[in-house]
A and B are shown apart, each in its own frame.
Chain A
Amino acid sequence: MTIKVAGEQKQMADGITVAGLIEAEQVENPQYVTVSVNEEFIDAGDFASHVLNEGDEVEFLYFMGGGR
């Protein structure tokens, strides 16, 4: 199936979960990433159970602590 990850179309296996996508996309510091699916945040506790569907739009939001 096709899903959109950070604005890019990607082919992923049917039934992939948010946790599975985090692994597939090799997300940095995965325990601290915020994930939105179709403009809604997913609780970190639901990453393993939240199954993605065809056409879903997923965003990863990362901590960036620098500035000075």
Chain B
Amino acid sequence: MAFTNEQLERYSRHIILKEIGVKGQKKLLNATVLIIGAGGLGAPAALYLAAAGVGTIGIVDADTVDLSNLQRQVIHTTNDIGKRKVDSAAETMRAVNPDVTVNTYYDFVSSANIMDLIKDYDFILDGTDNFPAKFLINDACVMAKKPLSHAGIIRFKGQLTTILPGEGPCYRCIFKDPPPKDAVPTCKQAGVIGAMGGVIGSLQAMEAVKYITGVGELLVGYLLTYDALKMEFHKIKLPPRGKGCAVCSDAPTITKLIDYEQAACELKH
């Protein structure tokens, strides 16, 4: 595949980086990334990955754009209210970069569809807002051996880790089971500062780009936390993979995907 003059111009700031170059840019154009959740995390991640020229981006969301989303979900505009988030996000990504093929999935993830959704993608980015989905995505990626960027945000805090199944620890290595319904507040209940999605979602996009191009060190084996009020990042080193983990140890006890019960207030959001 040869670059057109327009592509050389569009990606010039990437191509000039010795770590990326023409080779890295080609890898990006040939890559496929699935973003689950077109919201606070997914919006900035999708914008940066589209702008970067990731050739195929899948986006999964079963929601429509609501006025209360616009405080942070920067891929949607006031004119998009009422539209499916996947359509609104796809429209913006295509407008940012016509090189990108966008696949939309207007659906919730569940044990019934997750394996099929992730199977054709090189890298999975979790931008969901509830524990049942986060555990489901983790387990599915471990079982299918798909690289995953996991993240969570709440109030003035955010965190993320990168999971390479078989190499580093997974989400379930850190947290054995989802907390009971409503035991730990969601963004809707607790609030979240809009730019938090921008910070953490952009870091997820950064990990995807690094994974695709093979540049630098991934956040495998670490949980990076960010406290906006203290303006502090903290990198927590995690124990090695699998030790007693129900899904990623060498003798896993979870071998089938689980649909945990969603908190009622999370169903719509």
Binding site for B on A (CB under 8 A): 6-7, 29, 31-32, 34, 36, 39-41, 59, 61-68
How far is A41 from B170 in the complex, measured between Cα atoms in Å? Answer: 13
Return chain A residues, CB-CB under 8 Å to B190. Answer: 66
19 intermolecular pairs with C-beta atoms under 8 Å apart: A6-B236, A7-B234, A29-B183, A32-B183, A39-B238, A41-B239, A61-B174, A61-B223, A62-B157, A64-B151, A64-B153, A64-B159, A65-B134, A66-B152, A66-B154, A67-B40, A67-B126, A67-B128, A68-B37
Return chain A residues, CB-CB under 8 Å to B41. Answer: 67-68
How far is A38 from B173 in the complex, measured between Cα atoms in Å? Answer: 16
How far is A7 from B138 in the complex, measured between Cα atoms in Å? Answer: 27
| A39-B237 in contact given A67-B187, A68-B42 (Cβ < 8 Å) | yes
- Find the residue from B42, B174, B184, B234 having the highest chain A CB count within 10 A: B184
Q: Does B130 contact A (CB under 8 A)?
A: yes
How far is A67 from B167 in the complex, measured between Cα atoms in Å? Answer: 25
Q: Does B139 contact A (CB under 8 A)?
A: no
Return chain A residues, CB-CB under 8 Å to B223. Answer: 61
Q: Is the CB of A63 within 8 A of B127?
A: no
| A67-B238 in contact given A29-B183, A32-B179, A61-B174 (Cβ < 8 Å) | no
